[in-house]
Structures are given as structure tokens and as C-alpha cells.
A and B are shown apart, each in its own frame.
Chain A
Amino acid sequence: AQSVAQPEDQVNVAEGNPLTVKCTYSVSGNPYLFWYVQYPNRGLQFLLKYITGDNLVKGSYGFEAEFNKSQTSFHLKKPSALVSDSALYFCAVRTRMDSSYKLIFGSGTRLLVRP
């Protein structure tokens, strides 16, 4: 069965410091991986995706993520955090074998950036 784990319920970081939000996955076959962000009372917003190619992918708002096949991880990173980055972050996976392309989400990680 496909699954996604986000081991940290909350990540706290000071503004200007680098941030990492962790994600590991378990799928059969090659994964497609996604990061979404959710602000209060708003829907999920797409940040970035890994489909194939370079393991380091860059996305919106200065975020990037590194795909590591051997560790089955897809951690989200940003070199310098902003207070406005405080939100709920979700990692998601789907496989190429699933013709519906439905997403399997992790439980989310709340990022709190303090001034």
C-alpha cells in the first residue's frame, strides 16, 4: 500500500534561518512526489513536484525539495525562512501505475517561523 510519513507535527524556526520539513514515502514502483501548502481557511496550494530527472526540484516562494530514492525521502527546504511561510505543509505521492492519479497525503507538518 502507498503511504506518506511526515514525522514532525510541527517545525519551529527563526526568520532568516534555513528550514527543512521532512517527508518519506512508501510506494510500489516509481513515485511522483508533491508538496502543497495550506493557509487558514484556504485550499491547498501547489509548491513543487518531482516527476523525473534532477533530484533537486525548485518551486514557488523560494522552496525546493530533494528526491532521494535510496532513502525514499522528499524533504522540503528553504534557505531563509520568512514569517509569512508559517502554514501547514503536506507531502503527497502518487504512482505511475495508478491510472486515476489520485494523491496520497501525509498528515501534515505545521511550520512556525518566529520573528
Chain B
Amino acid sequence: DTGVSQNPRHKITKRGQNVTFRCDPISEHNRLYWYRQTLGQGPEFLTYFQNEAQLEKSRLLSDRFSAERPKGSFSTLEIQRTEQGDSAMYLCASSPPDAAVNEQFFGPGTRLTVL
């Protein structure tokens, strides 16, 4: 399978715990995006990487959230001190270098439930 993969697919945690999600983009895709989707809503942009550089962060990304893409390949999204409001589907997407005219390819998502 050469699509975008995300792990874990589901995560249940208690309020106050830290969680980390991983995204493996399609190889040779230098652009990587994280989105968050809550029930009944469309995905909302969180952050964007071009290669290893994090070039844009949404105001939705509070200081409890941090994302990395250390070698320009896979990316991690960490949420510290989780809150019940963090419960959502976290989607990762990637796109090739000529991204201006190309669509983004999405992974299956990680569903986070904070108890």
C-alpha cells in the first residue's frame, strides 16, 4: 500500500495524559499537512510542513500541541495534557512538490477519545 498511513487508528486516553500520533506520507511527497475533524464538521487545518520545515500553524494549534517532521519523511503530532475538547479525528495529508495544481492525499486518520 503506497498511500498515507497513520498510527494508531484509535487512541483512548484519560484527561491530562500525553498522546503522540504518527503519519507516514506518500514517499516523495515533500508537503505534509495535519487537520482535525470533529463530529459533524469538515476538517480544519492545523499545521503544514514543507520537507522538515514547519511553515504554518493554525491558531487552533495551542501550545499543548506540537508537530515535528525531523527528516522530512514521517511526522508526529503530540498533544500534551489532553483535554476532553481534544477528542476528534486527526487527519494527515501529503502532496507532491508541484502542489499548486495537485490534490492532497489523506490518510485514514487517528480517532482520539479523551475520557
Contacts and interface: CB of A to CB of B under 8 A. Distances in A.
The answer to whether A and B come from one shared complex is: yes
A108 B42 contact: yes
A21 B23 CA distance: 31
B28 interface: no
B115 to A, nearest CB: 21
Contact of B4 (A43, A96, A103, A107): A43
Interface in A64-112: 90, 92, 96, 99-108
Given A101-B95, A107-B41, A108-B40, 13 more contacts: A36-B106, A41-B108, A43-B4, A44-B43, A44-B106, A90-B42, A100-B55, A101-B99, A102-B56, A103-B33, A103-B35, A103-B45, A105-B42
Give the size range of A's interface with the partner.
20 to 34
A87 to B, nearest CB: 14
A104 to B, nearest CB: 7
B31 interface: yes
Interface of B: 4, 31, 33, 35, 40-45, 48, 55-56, 91, 93, 95, 99-101, 103-109
A104 B40 CA distance: 15
A49 interface: yes
Interface of A: 4, 32, 34, 36, 41-46, 49, 51, 90, 92, 96, 99-108
Contacts, number: 56
Nearest to B33: A102
A48 B36 CA distance: 22
Contact of B100 (A4, A96, A108): A96
Contacts of A42: 108
Given A43-B91, A100-B56, A102-B33, A107 B104 contact: no
A111 to B, nearest CB: 15
A43 B109 contact: yes
A34 B95 CA distance: 14
A101 B48 CA distance: 9
B44 A44 contact: no
Nearest to A91: B42
B48 A105 contact: no
